[in-house]
Structure 1
Amino acid sequence: MFIDTIGRRSLLAFGAAALAASFAGTAASQPSTPLRVILPVSAGSGVDVIVRSAQVALTKALDGQPVVIENQPGAGGITGTQNLVKAAPDGNTIAVISNNHSVNPSVFKKLPYDSLADITPITILGGSPFVLVVNPNKVSAKNAKELQALMKAKPGEFNYGSSGNGTIIHLAGEMFVDEASVKARHIPYKGMGPMITDIMGGQVEMGVGAVAAVQGQIKSGALRPIGVMGKERVPSLPEVPTMAEQGFPGVDVAGWFAVVGPKGLPPAQVKRLRDAFATAFNDPDVKAGFAKRDDFLILNTPEEAGKFLKSEQERYARLVKKANVTLE
């Protein structure tokens, strides 16, 4: 009887120890510190939608590490990026930036960080194609050559809208104006939504928009597409040629989004994060969302991402100088 009692006690003790060890192992395998992803843009923007679409897949790719997304808009992306560069380079704080990161050094007289030296490139995730659109009731042109001829016949009478002074949408519009050697007045708005509304209302004649943002209006006939501004046509608008196809090869611009960390991020953390993003964004459901929005994946190496960010900054600097864009 005594031996049986000891045996039962030993068995219960062993079971409790095994259960505790099991819980300890589970806790150890799932990092308690979340990955903080700073988005220097407002909720509902293109980059926000893209990153949130992969949040669950990213947690899975990081072996269960929670992913916390923080929208920190303001000053053309400067607010959120400033918080990134101040973060510890421990692999638990990153940001997803877009074109404005490479535009800002040229349009702002002073930044609180160095856009290249104070970050660690991880990967260029992908991009969103842009399209030049016009109000069909105010602009008779149906293609880029006709639009150029119309604008040359009425110099200075056309307005083009943008999502804000010094934004990539502004520079994309300026890219066409420069390449076509025409004159147009720039009208900045506080975001793409108000700009699109005013093009449809006839307050401005034309503007550049992300394909996903103007897809519905194009299909309904409220806006007329003039040309895709990247290297390739987009699946949802197969009949709309690129600007290069229409004789304007210098008009080559698309929205892009890149994953970066603070300066000094160790190579092992860079590899861990790049591999996790590559796995998450190749998830079938995430890829299906990309295809639906006409977005495209890049997922290049950290070295390629660094070269790309440098070349983009140099390219926009030349365009900003031509357009004489300056912000305080």
Structure 2
Amino acid sequence: MKRGAPRHRESGLCIGVDVGGTKISAALFAGDGAMQAKRRFPIDRSGPQAPVAQIAAAIAELVAVAGESEGGGPVAAVGIAIPGVVFHGSGEVWAPNIAGWDHFPLAARLAERNSLPLVLDSDRAAYVLGEQWCGVAQGLRNVVFVAFGTGIGAGILADGRLVRGSGDIAGAVGWFALDPRFKAEYGQRGCFECEASGTAVGLLAQRALEEGRPSAIAAIAASSGGEITAETVFRAASGGDALAEEILDHVAEAMAMGIANIVSILNPEIVVLGGGLFQSDLRLLEPVRARVARWAQPLAAAAVRIEPSGLGEDAGLFGAAKLAWDSVRVWP
């Protein structure tokens, strides 16, 4: 065992919960990172208390599973990752994609329904911790996880420690300024997010079609419900559609510029790419790698690895479980 490495309790399990803007995932983990059981369900958007009830119910269900499983044991703690900012002193959260979660007292509301120790953190923190624990960043201490989904955010480990900033806002890389021509939408979502997120891919396609650009994108969207999404554009590009390829080239360039800034500022050993744009289709990976090498500080660019997530959509779950384990660890 490495000096200073945590020695987890030999018996017992932990629960990780990953709260997203559209879904909630929860899983039961052993101390070695083995996932024992998993639940996933759409988030109830009827009000701020509704997701609290869902989280509490998922925890209760997994506690029951732990008690019934062969070789199981008591659940030691629960880690919860949320898509926003956690105010660690108060246990309040700010999650703009969840109605009513503006300085919402999540820790207190969950404590009313659950007696287990709880630890809250941002999904950004969970992503990077998950990859360091059980993913492609195992054994590394300078790691950045960049999630390209509905928005863009980054979890940062520097010398093995989470970088939070003065208000737990560090990693809000969606607000990177990449274009000197300020657009009104940048004030709400950030320049990088408006040019390189999953949402951006769909919006760029929609605008191009409204300008009369010929493309198979519209027909593909019509055949699958009518909404133009990043998946629609990827499907069109797979068929050789010129507009789709142009959009993805623009997005790859914007991604590379943002990642190059991260590489030059933080000099990480690895940048892990996750979120919806790097789960089922990795066509952007090689263009991004090549362009980061062009944009970033050359020594930092030569030293960094740029890899897709090893845990995929479960990175937040693993990270939340790691937060739980770390909250109850004992030292040799």
TM-score bracket, shorter-length normalisation: 0.3 to 0.5
The two structures have a TM-score, normalised by structure 2, of 0.34
* Structure number with bigger Rg: 1
The structure whose residues are more often helix, as a share, is 1
| Relative contact order, higher structure (CA 8 A, sep 6+) | 1
